[in-house]
Amino acid sequence: MDKAKAKFAQRLRRAMEEAGYEGKPAVLEREFNQRYWGKPVTLHGVRRWLVGETFPANDKLLALAKWLNVTPQELRDGVEIARQVSERRKRWDEGIGYQEREMFEAFMSLPVPQRKAVREVILGLVLAGKTEPKK
């Protein structure tokens, strides 16, 4: 069994239980089909979601997330990835001042060949800084 699908199944079952529903295929089939406007899903189809054999298609994932009051990303990937992205973004935002932002804007306005050249210069300076003895 695929780990990602198994983890999705756990998150789906937990989200159902937190929303006040039993994490059973019959409950999922009934409740999902009452809220989904597309072709109804079968008992076998939702059972495959709950045992980690398959992922729902994106439109079904969105319907599940809306019904269970969780984000689609949280349901599909879990909160850990979202937390890691948020922390990385926070470090980036807190560590950059006005001058750096202005420089990044100028860099992004350069044509691709010039951006490559600037990148090589920066990486060269970083490498040179690592090899110089500390004073």
Q: Are 32 and 46 in contact (CB under 8 A)?
A: yes
Task: Note the pLDDT tens digit of each residue in 40-57.
Answer: 999 999 999 999 999 999
> Measured between alpha carbons, how far is 118 from 32 in angstroms, rounded to an integer?
53
Topology adopted by domain 3-81: 434 Repressor (Amino-terminal Domain) (1.10.260)
Q: Token digits for 131?
A: 């090899």
Specify the pLDDT at position 22: 94
Specify the pLDDT at position 20: 94
Q: Are 66 and 35 in contact (CB under 8 A)?
A: yes
Specify the pLDDT at position 55: 92
Specify the pLDDT at position 27: 95
Q: What is the pLDDT along the chain (135 residues), one digit of tens a residue?
A: 588 899 999 999 999 999 999 999 999 999 999 999 999 999 999 999 999 999 999 999 999 999 999 989 888 887 777 777 778 888 777 778 888 888 888 999 999 899 999 999 999 999 888 877 766
In this structure, is the dihedral angle defined by the CA atoms of residues 56, 60, 61 and 66, taken in order, positive or negative? Answer: negative
* CA distances (Å), origin 81, targets 37, 77, 113, 129: 30, 7, 33, 33
> Measured between alpha carbons, how far is 25 from 2 in angstroms, rounded to an integer?
20
* Structural domain boundaries in the chain: 3-81, 97-135
Classify residue 19 by its DSSP letter: T
Specify the pLDDT at position 28: 96
67: closest CA among 10, 132, 127, 16? 16
75 — alpha (psi -120 to 50), left (phi > 0) or beta?
Answer: alpha
Specify the pLDDT at position 61: 94
